[in-house]
Amino acid sequence: MTMLCGVLEHLLVNPANIFRALAATLRPGGLLYVTTLNFLRQGCRGLLLPGRNPQRLFRPDYRPEDRFHHHVRE
């Protein structure tokens, strides 16, 4: 079993690549548990319904040294 808890929102790489790599390491019938922020909370839904992204990929003042302290996506 592999667990990712609150990790995806900090990644600077495409999470699909992470999922592919993890899937390749799982044994047959193995499990991958992933938890994320509540992207469907009310504030986000209000933006999603008209087709807007509730969060920019990077904040304007984002610096590489911030990568472990801030969410780059939800």
Range of the domain at 21: 2-66
Number of domains comprising the chain:
1
Q: Which two tokens stand for residue 73?
A: 């996506």
Answer whether residue 29 is part of any domain. Answer: yes
Answer whether residue 72 is part of any domain. Answer: no
- Burial environment of residue 15 by CB neighbours within 10 A (0 to 12, 13 to 18, 19 or more): middle
Q: Which two tokens stand for residue 69?
A: 């302290």
Rounded Cα–Cα distance for residues 44 and 38 (Å)? 9
Answer whether residue 28 is part of any domain. Answer: yes
Answer for the pair 65, 34: CB distance below 8 angstroms, yes or no.
no
pTM to 2 decimal places: 0.48
Answer whether residue 15 is part of any domain. Answer: yes
Answer whether residue 30 is part of any domain. Answer: yes
Answer whether residue 74 is part of any domain. Answer: no
Residue 69 confidence class, pLDDT cut points 50, 70, 90: low
Reported as a single tens digit per residue, the pLDDT across 20-68 is: 898 899 899 988 888 777 777 788 888 888 988 776 665 666 666 666 5
Answer whether residue 73 is part of any domain. Answer: no
Residue 5 confidence class, pLDDT cut points 50, 70, 90: confident
